[in-house]
């Protein structure tokens, strides 16, 4: 879902991250506010004032999204649902869960928390704007915009279309009724796909009517939600299949290892090109030092490969690239999703036991689904 991102700050221990795609939508919103709504909300001000209002309004909108997602994350943590953090990106924001809720009640409470927060912020902002002459026209315009947008944010997210908040509430109700998370997710995701289809068709009609930007935005959001609904259902299926399975079942034992004292040139010629792997564990006299991948190699200019050794680029073992052989396969999958790395070292008490890859896990999932469907 995300590209390059970085952490902005932590809110009560929850990391708030920004994806680089955020700057695209932030620029579009600022431009549209400065040239459209704010001149209507607060007529008679200078162009520079409208741009200042637009910038403040954009930052206020994204602060509102952070607050919306924070309440999701806060309630999730209270129900012991693993929460990786909150990321702002081109489509708004998302609270990143690394596991499904343990019960329908936990799912419902987590889902409803975000819209309730947005409704509260919207009501407060509109109430302050309604004071009227007591506020400067510039401030009233910003408050009116933030109030309306928070209510729109709540309304959109309450649509019964998984994985939107309303769709999660629907899934919670279906889950409680049938006591079957997979079935509930399947039904809720169908609603999500239907809603996505409506957005995409609406986008096509808006483009045909001459509203190209609005139509494209509606179509792209619909497409994103369609894929998100499908991915969420697939995640539930994968979780069901892999639950209780140990990493040791999927790992490749006795992998080829790199010595730390060879040059990068030798490592590429004798290991990467020969074995056709994109990464290798690095061992020195039986002691595991870490790993080296093409990702690290590409950061070093080609002309330096003959002077640099493998030891100078080794990535030490840690929670982002290693896991125990007796760990649950779902834990390995969660690390891969969090880091974006499709492979992990399998390490027990400092000893290299093998390697496990996303492909290993997904091939097992596909085979089991095929044989037991």
The answer to whether residues 320 and 340 touch, using CB atoms and an 8 Å cutoff, is no
Torsion, Cα 141 144 147 152, to 10 degrees, reads -100
- CA 373/CA 364 separation, integer angstroms: 14
User: Is the link from the previous residue into 163 a cis peptide, with omega within 30 of 0?
Assistant: yes
How far is residue 146's CA from residue 125's CA, in Å, rounded to a whole number?
7
How do strand 279-284 and strand 252-253 relate by DSSP bridges? Answer: unpaired
The tokens describing 148, both together, are 């309306």
* 69 noted as active-site residue: yes
Helix (H) / strand (E) containing 283: strand 279-284
Cβ contact 76:95 at 8 Å: yes
Q: What is the DSSP letter of 244?
A: T
Sheet strand arrangement including 351-357: 252-253, 351-357, 343-348, 322-323
Per DSSP, 290 falls in state: E
Going by C-alpha positions, the residue among 297, 300, 254, 238 that lies closest to residue 272 is 297
Residue from 7, 69, 107, 303 carrying the catalytic annotation? 69
Q: And the tokens for 220?
A: 């792209």
Q: Supply the Cα-derived Rg of the chain in whole angstroms.
A: 25
Which residues carry out catalysis?
Answer: 69
């Amino acid at each position: 879902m995300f590209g390059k991102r970085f952490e902005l700050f932590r809110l009560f221990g929850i990391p708030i991250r920004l994806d680089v795609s955020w700057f695209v939508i932030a620029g579009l919103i600022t431009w549209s506010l400065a040239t459209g709504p704010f001149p209507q909300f607060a007529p008679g001000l200078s162009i520079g004032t409208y741009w200042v209002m637009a910038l403040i309004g954009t930052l206020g909108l994204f602060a509102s999204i952070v607050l919306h997602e924070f309440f999701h994350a806060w309630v999730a943590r209270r129900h012991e649902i693993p929460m990786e953090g909150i990321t702002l990106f081109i489509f708004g924001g998302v609270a990143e869960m690394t596991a499904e809720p343990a019960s329908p009640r936990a799912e419902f409470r987590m889902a409803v928390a975000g819209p309730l927060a947005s409704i509260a912020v919207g009501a407060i902002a509109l109430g302050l704007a309604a004071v009227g002459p007591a506020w400067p026209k510039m401030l009233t315009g910003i408050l009116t915009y933030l109030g309306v947008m928070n209510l729109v944010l709540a309304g959109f997210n309450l649509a019964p279309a998984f994985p939107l908040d309303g769709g999660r509430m629907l899934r919670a109700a279906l889950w409680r009724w049938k006591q079957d998370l997979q079935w509930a997710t399947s039904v809720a995701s169908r609603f999500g796909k239907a809603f996505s289809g409506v957005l995409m068709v609406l986008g096509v009609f808006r483009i045909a009517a001459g509203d190209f930007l609005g139509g494209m935005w509606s179509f792209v959001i619909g497409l994103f939600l369609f894929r998100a609904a499908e991915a969420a259902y697939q995640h539930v299926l994968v979780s069901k299949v892999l639950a209780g399975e140990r990493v040791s079942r999927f790992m490749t034992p006795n992998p080829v290892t790199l010595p730390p004292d060879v040059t990068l040139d030798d490592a590429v010629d004798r290991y990467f090109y020969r074995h056709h792997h994109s990464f290798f564990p690095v061992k020195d006299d039986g002691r595991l030092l870490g790993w080296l991948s093409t990702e690290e190699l590409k950061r070093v200019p080609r002309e330096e490969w003959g002077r640099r050794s493998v030891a100078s680029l080794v990535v030490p073992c840690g929670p982002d690239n290693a896991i125990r052989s007796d760990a649950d396969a779902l834990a390995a999958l969660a690390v891969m999703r969090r880091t974006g790395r499709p492979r992990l070292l399998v390490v027990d008490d400092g000893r290299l036991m093998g390697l496990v890859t996303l492909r290993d896990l997904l091939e097992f999932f596909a085979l089991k689904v095929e044989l037991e469907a």
